[in-house]
Amino acid sequence: MKLNKYIDHTLLKATATKEDIIQICKEAIAHNFFSVCVNSCYVTLVKEQLKNSKVKVCSVIGFPLGAMSTKAKVEETKQALKDGADEIDMVLNIGFLKSNDFDAVSKDIKAVKKVMPEYTLKVILETCYLEESEILKASALAIHAGADFIKTSTGFGTGGATINDVKLMQSVIANGNTKIKASGGIRDTKTALAYIQLGVDRIGTSNGIAIVTGTTSEENNY
């Protein structure tokens, strides 16, 4: 199995420098990963670094809390696309979900999808903060609002992907076309394979090299 094309090679730390971003672009090209995933201020740099490769550019939006205004998320999305992003990973408004304001959660996602109809939108649920019933509801809302993928985690919450959470997300997708991205805490080949065998289409990780080479990485925590 070719693991490299499942991987969004990710660097989202606040301390990430331009040099760090250039380095992960080089790694992504060397290993032919699916994409490089960064904060939106680095999309232009990543696009430039990847211009002669097939590696895509992924930008996070409303990261990591999801608590920005919808207008702010929409504008950040527009700018990221203008700068060269191919895919967007937006954080769902977790507080609205927990307030049972499902209409607001849905409108937030729809507003972002509306400005990127031809692009891939992944909606991050941040499952570590959600009860099982909330994971089911968040998945349904995101799918209905036009998400191409539902994603487990930012990697900045209290926990990352779990097999159980992914199974819950899958139960909502049922026979639909929405895909799943598992992220947070996936650091080795065995773990990555467990998610892929479960049916996950994408892995978000800063440990992509360890996953494809079968080594282990201690320092990267996403």
d(CA 81, CA 114): 13
d(CA 49, CA 116): 23
Asked, as a colleague might, if the bond just before 117 is cis with ω within 30 of 0, I would say no
Spell out the alpha helix ranges (H) of 118-175.
132-144, 163-173
101 is catalytic: no
Q: For 70, list phi and psi in degrees, rounded to 5.
A: -60, -40
- Distance from CA of residue 16 to its chain's centroid? 18
Catalytic-role residue among 89, 108, 148, 165 = 89
Answer positive or negative: Cα dihedral of 63, 64, 68, 70.
positive
The separation between the first and the last C-alpha atoms of the chain, rounded to the nearest angstrom, is 23
d(CA 204, CA 15): 19
Residue type, 125: L
Catalytic-role residue among 47, 56, 73, 181 = 181
Catalytic-role residue among 47, 122, 137, 151 = 151
89 is catalytic: yes
d(CA 169, CA 150): 8
CB atoms within 10 A of CB 164: 11
Active site residues: 89, 151, 181
